Amino acid sequence: MIIEPKIRGFICTTAHPEGCFENIRRQADYAKAHPVKGARKALIIGASAGYGLASRICAAFGCGADTLGVIFDKPASGGRTASAGWYNTAAFERLAAKEGLYAATINGDAFSREVKEQALERIRRDMGKVDLVLYSLAAPRRTLPDGTVCSSVLKTVGEAYTNRTIDLKRRELAEVSISPASEQEIADTVRVMGGEDWGDWIKALAEAGVLAENAITAAYSYIGPEMTHPIYMEGSIGRAKEDLYQTSRRIGESFPHLRAYISVNKALVTQSSSAIPIVPLYISILYRVMKQMGLHEGCIEQMSRLFNERLYAPNLLLDERGCIRLDDWEMRPDVQAKVNEIWERIDNENLEQLADIDGYWEDFYQMFGFHIPGVDYEKEADPAVSIPSIG
């Protein structure tokens, strides 16, 4: 079938298998060009897209590590394509096999005990112990052991907030108001996006005896500039991210032979960030500024820097709270000063000149395997692609 992008809201409901393969191949080539002596056995929770996928690529093709990934994706069915994460994972496993690297994947709800048990069994059987555990889960909801379903919300805390955003389809500015979250919504957001599940994974791994001595674990977060704080760091998501940070402290205290970190990463186009009001306008301005200054990085460049210059560097640089700051280039005073200056004067007349809308859309489409150079999208593609370790 000819596979074309179909956009609905902030997601694409189709994905292109050959485009996804080429995208992963390019990222793998980048990781191979930036090798590092680091992880040997890695578990990546949330491994099919964004920072989690790039982390798995860096572990495998940068470090030469065996990897176990946990994903929650759908194969092709009937006339529907598989999810992009499914195609990404299939491509990753095939490329890893060519390099003689062990790569296995578990497809299921990472919050569940069942998936944790599957991961523990696979590690015991095939890997022995893992020395790197990366937690990059981005989920809208979580089912608790008693069957209760918690859903996360993108809301403020305390007061409503109004600011500008961008209507990407119409390519024009719009005003958006975000209502405050209830206490229950805040609590549910923390249960979904906070650190509880990360802590559960580490506890399960430790009790099963499959954590290597002096292993490293890290989870990913974001801080961002002041203009995004009401909806992000001071909002319901921020409460969850603070819980994630506190979890890193508890993990370090509970497991002294395990190093636990929060990596604060750069703002990038992801399915999660696309859903957050205000953030897409900020990102499109940030892209313009950082590209002009030669500082722009995508997921693979960020994660390569995490491995090469942070996790496995002789001297690990941390901020005053003990966090890794990969947003250091984004938050440079000269970068933020330029972004703020543009934010104040941007309007519908100069939007195309001051914001990188085309760059935003390119990153968006490429998440789903579209707009990848060298791929013939006029050619029929078979949507039925298997993941070798799943079948």
Whose tokens are 């000149």? That residue is: 353
Integer Cα distance of 69 and 71 in angstroms: 6
Integer Cα distance of 374 and 276 in angstroms: 32
Integer Cα distance of 47 and 116 in angstroms: 15
Q: Of the listed 30, 51, 161, 232, which one is catalytic?
A: 232
Which among 125, 307, 295 is positioned nearest to 216, based on CA atoms? 307
- Asked if 71 and 48 count as a contact pair (C-beta separation under 8 A), the reply is yes
Integer Cα distance of 52 and 45 in angstroms: 7
CA torsion angle for 243, 244, 248, 249 (degrees, to 10)?
A: -20
Contacts of residue 64, defined as CB under 8 A and 6 or more positions apart, other chains included, come to 35, 40, 99, 101
Amino acid at 351: L
287 is catalytic: no
CA 184 to chain centre: 26
3-state secondary structure of 360: helix
Among all residues, which ones are annotated catalytic? 232
